[in-house]
Every structure is written in C-alpha cells, then in structure tokens.
C-alpha cells in the first residue's frame, strides 16, 4: 500500500556503483575509483533525472498517492458525522489520497484491530480519534516499529506519546466555560439555588473526562448541588434513557440539565417533554449542550436550549498541513487546538472569563446558523 518512491533507474545506478567499487589492485583501485567517481556521477545524474521525472510527474498531477488509514470513533452523533465528512473531504482521491476509513462503532477492540490492519496494509499515515484515552501504548509501539507516523485527532491518548501530532479541543476549558456561563446566567436571572443533573458522554473518553472535570470545578467552587451524573454515551437514545430515569428519580428536584453533547440533549428534551417538565428559556429547567452542530444551534435560537458550547470537529485541514509538512521534511506543529465559540439564546451574559481569558458569548441569529460549516 505504501507509495513507491525509489525509481528503477536509481536502483540500476546504485547497482552499477556497487559493481565498479568491487576492484582489488592499486591500478584497478585507481581505475575503480575513477569508474566509481564516473558511476557515482552517473548515479547522481540518474538520480537527478529520476527526481526530475518524479517532480514532473508530480507537476502533472500524477504524483504519488498517499494512503491514509483513519480509525474513527463511530457514528454516534451529529458531531461525529461532521468530523468524518471533514476527513473524507480533505483526504479525497482528487486531492491525491487513498483514504482507508474504518467506523469503529464505539468499540475499542474494533479500533485497535483497525490500526493493526492499517499496519499490515503498510499505509503511509494513520489517523486515530481514540474512543477511550487508555490502552494505546502497545499498538502505537507497533506503528512506530513499522515506521508509520500516527496523528491523533479530537480526543486524547493519555498512556502513550508514540504519535507525531494531536489536533483537537481543550475539553476541560469547555467544561469550565459552561460552569462560568451558568453562574453568570443564574445571577442575571435571579436564580439562587441550582440543583443539577448531568448526562455524561462515553465513559473513559477524554471529552467526557475533561468536560466533567471543568464543570465540577466550578460547581464545587460555587457550592452547587449535583444530584446525579450518568453516561448517555454521546447518543440521543442514551440521553433520553438517562433523562427518563432522572425525571422519575428526581421529579420536582432539579432546575438544570447539563448534556455533554448535542444528541444527548435532543434525547433529554424528548424525555422531559414526555414527563411534562418544561425546559429552555421559558421553562423551569435550564438545559445546555456541548458540540454546537447546526441542529442544536437551531434549538438554541428557538429557546429550547439555553446555551451551547462548541466543540469544533473540523480537524482534517490541520491534519493535512501536518502530513504535507512531514512529506516535505519540515518541522510540524505537534499540538494544535481548534477554535471554539460559546452560543446563547439571550444576551444577558455578554461574556465569561475562563481561566483568566475572556470569551464572548455569541447570541444566536439565523444568519449565524446559516453561515456555519456544520
Ligand atoms: C468531542 C467528541 C465527542 C463529541 C460527541 O471532541 O469526541 O464525541 O462531543 C462525540 O458528539 O460523540
């Protein structure tokens, strides 16, 4: 699968150099040296010619195709769909790539197997969005031994550093932003007591770990009451099931629901509607989500979500820059954070301060939503 970068001409020149260099006597040695020099010059000339041929081929658009193995988390959310689409758009045949894509269906064993298959296929690069943050060092060592560079996107790998770069989000900052906004929003609304239910993402995913850590840091600082925190696995069904259970177990006790992605929020909204619990800007329960895919932004504009905290899925263009830089033998960035915004329905919290950095709250309009890439 790996592209071929050594032309036949260069091999022949190298073989000729090796034969000429095999002489034993001093005269022969001189002759050999002369021949060697000549052959070396020939080889160099051939090498240049081959390089020129390759460059010409490249210019003619018939250059080497790079094979990319991409082990994607799954297809669990609108966010994931946007992430996959971004990679397929960038690493297309028209752009000179052969993308070997595996949807790992949220199954870590499948994901590890997909990476090992890429090694067997001898791809040029491997991209991984890790379902969970641990259990990676063995297979990443196998990639390193096979000489295949690995680029990690989105979620993080916490038990190995055997990859060349990572492009993604600061999940703890996302969680902190949500907490700081909730504090300011409650104050602006005159809400003095917050009783909170959390629908977490996939257990063990760095996105879940970071968002939970950040939000809980603010909750602890403010003395909020988190009644419960259970995983909805980043899916709409998961969010609905957890919220149905919450509506029974905590009936009349909660006034905030934190959903760690958009699709969980969609499920939670369905469950609260069925249970007769009002939510959103004009409801009894404040509800927020993370991701900010277009559907969630529309719900927020319509007042059904109070706020949405973006997690940008469009890492592929930055990954391509890294790969092209590596191909050109250049130094590349090894850690890139994507740009992210915070959206709200109402303009009562103009901005928040997260870890000492001021972040604007973007009050949604239809124009903003229509202009979004996903
Ligand atoms: C976060 C990403 C998460 C999204 C979910 O970067 O890994 O996984 O928040 C997705 O929508 O399932």
Alpha carbon distances (Å) from 72 to 81, 115, 120, 277: 10, 10, 18, 36
Tell me how far the alpha carbon of residue 201 is from its chain's centroid: 15
Report the C-alpha gap between 247 and 235 in whole angstroms. 18
Whose structure tokens read 């295949």? 148
State in Å: Cα 63 to ligand 1 middle: 35
Which residue's CA is minimally distant from atom 6 of ligand 1? 154
Using the mean position of ligand 1's atoms as its centre, give its distance from the Cα of residue 129 in Å. Answer: 10
Strands of the sheet containing 286-291, edge to edge, are: 225-231, 195-200, 256-259, 286-291, 307-310, 342-344, 357-363, 351-354
Closest approach atom of ligand 1 to CA 129: 7
| Length reported for the chain | 374
Closest CA to 211 of 229, 237, 195, 193: 229
User: CA 221 → CA 32, 92, 229, distances in Å?
Assistant: 80, 48, 18
Which are the contacts of 147, defined by CB distance < 8 A and separation ≥ 6?
A: none
With a Cβ cut-off of 6 Å, ligand 1 is lined by: 76-77, 79-80, 154-155, 169, 207, 234, 261, 290-291, 311
CA of 104 relative to ligand 1 center, distance in Å: 14
Those residues whose C-beta lies under 8 Å from the C-beta of residue 230, and which sit 6 or more positions away, are: 198, 199, 200, 242, 245, 246
Q: Tens place of pLDDT for every residue, the chain, 374 residues?
A: 565 443 333 334 444 433 333 333 333 333 333 333 333 444 444 455 444 444 443 443 446 899 999 999 999 999 999 999 999 999 999 999 999 999 999 999 999 999 999 999 999 999 999 999 999 999 999 999 999 999 999 999 999 999 999 999 999 999 999 999 999 999 999 999 999 999 999 999 999 999 999 999 999 999 999 999 999 999 999 999 999 999 999 999 999 999 999 999 999 999 999 999 999 999 999 999 999 999 999 999 999 999 999 999 999 999 999 999 999 999 999 999 999 999 999 999 999 999 999 999 999 999 999 999 88
Element (H, E) at 217: helix 206-222
**Quick check: helix, strand or coil at residue 334?**
coil
Tell me the pTM. 0.83
Q: Could you tell me the two tokens for 142?
A: 């196998």
Atom 1 of ligand 1, residue of closest alpha carbon? 207
Q: In what order do the strands lie in the sheet with 125-128?
A: 97-103, 66-72, 125-128, 150-154, 165-168, 335-337
Q: How far, in Å, is the centroid of ligand 1 from the Cα of 7?
A: 44
257: buried, middle or exposed (CB in 10 Å: 19+, 13-18, 0-12)?
buried
Ligand 1 pocket mutation, candidates 311, 313, 315, criterion most atoms within 8 A of CB: 311
The closest-lying atom of ligand 1 relative to the alpha carbon of residue 311 is 6
100-121 burial: b if 16+ Cβ within 10 Å, else e: bebbbebebeebbebbeebbee
Ligand 1 atom with the shortest distance to the CA of 234: 12
The 3-state secondary structure of 224-266, one letter per residue? CEEEEEEECCCCHHHHHHHHHHHHHHCCCCCCEEEECCHHHHH
Joined tokens for residue 188: 């602006």
Task: Check residue 64 and give its pLDDT.
Answer: 87
What is the pLDDT at residue 354? 96
Residue pointed to by tokens 């003619």: 60
Distance 373 CA to ligand 1 centre (A): 17
- Residue 333 contacts residue 322 (beta carbons within 8 Å): yes
Distance between CA 170 and CA 337 in Å, rounded?
7
Count Cβ atoms below 10 Å from residue 148 Cβ, excluding itself.
20
Position in ligand 1 atom list of the atom nearest CA 206: 7
Q: Are 156 and 128 in contact, with CB atoms under 8 Å apart?
A: no
Distance CA 98, CA 65 (A): 7
Q: Identify the pLDDT of residue 47.
A: 52
Distance separating alpha carbons of residues 167 and 169, to the nearest angstrom: 7
Query: What's the gap in Å between 262 CA and the centre of ligand 1?
Result: 9
* C-alpha distances out from residue 116 to 122, 123, 267, Å: 10, 11, 35
Provide the greatest CA pair distance for the chain. Answer: 101
- What is the reported pLDDT for 373? 87
> What phi-psi label fits residue 312: left (phi over 0), alpha (psi between -120 and 50 degrees) or beta?
beta
Distance 348 CA to ligand 1 centre (A): 28
Nearest-CA neighbor of 169 among 336, 361, 345?
Answer: 336
């Amino acid at each position: 699968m790996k592209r071929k970068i050594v032309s036949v001409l260069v091999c022949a020149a190298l073989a000729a150099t090796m034969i000429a260099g095999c002489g034993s006597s001093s005269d022969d040695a001189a002759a050999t040296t002369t021949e060697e020099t000549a052959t070396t010059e020939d080889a160099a000339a051939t090498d240049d010619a081959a390089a020129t041929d390759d460059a010409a081929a490249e210019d003619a658009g018939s250059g080497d195709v790079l094979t990319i193995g991409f082990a994607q988390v799954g297809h669990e959310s609108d966010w994931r769909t946007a992430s996959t689409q971004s990679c397929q758009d960038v690493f297309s045949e028209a752009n000179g790539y052969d993308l070997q894509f595996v949807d790992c269906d949220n199954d870590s064993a499948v994901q590890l197997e997909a990476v090992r298959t890429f090694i067997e296929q001898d791809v040029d690069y491997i991209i991984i969005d890790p379902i969970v943050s641990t259990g990676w060092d063995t297979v990443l060592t196998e990639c390193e031994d096979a000489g295949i560079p690995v680029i990690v996107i989105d979620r993080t790998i916490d038990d190995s550093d055997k990859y060349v770069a990572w492009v993604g989000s600061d999940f703890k900052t996302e969680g902190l932003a949500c907490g700081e906004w909730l504090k300011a929003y409650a104050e602006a609304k005159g809400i003095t007591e917050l009783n909170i239910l959390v629908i977490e993402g996939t257990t063990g995913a760095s996105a879940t770990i970071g968002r939970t850590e950040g939000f809980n840091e603010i909750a602890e600082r403010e003395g909020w009451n988190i009644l419960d925190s259970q995983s909805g696995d980043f899916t709409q069904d998961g969010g609905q099931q957890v919220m149905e259970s919450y509506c029974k177990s905590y009936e009349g006790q909660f006034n905030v629901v934190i959903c760690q992605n958009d699709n969980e929020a969609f499920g939670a909204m369905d469950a609260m509607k069925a249970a007769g619990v009002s939510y959103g800007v004009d409801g009894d329960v404040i509800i927020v989500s993370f991701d900010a895919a277009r559907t969630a932004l529309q719900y927020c504009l319509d007042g059904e979500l109070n706020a949405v905290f973006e997690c940008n899925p469009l890492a592929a263009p930055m990954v391509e820059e890294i790969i092209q830089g590596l191909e050109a033998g250049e130094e590349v960035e090894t850690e890139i954070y994507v740009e992210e915004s915070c959206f709200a329905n109402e303009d009562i919290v103009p901005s928040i301060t997260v870890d000492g950095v001021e972040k604007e709250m973007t009050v949604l309009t239809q124009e903003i939503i229509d202009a979004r890439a996903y």
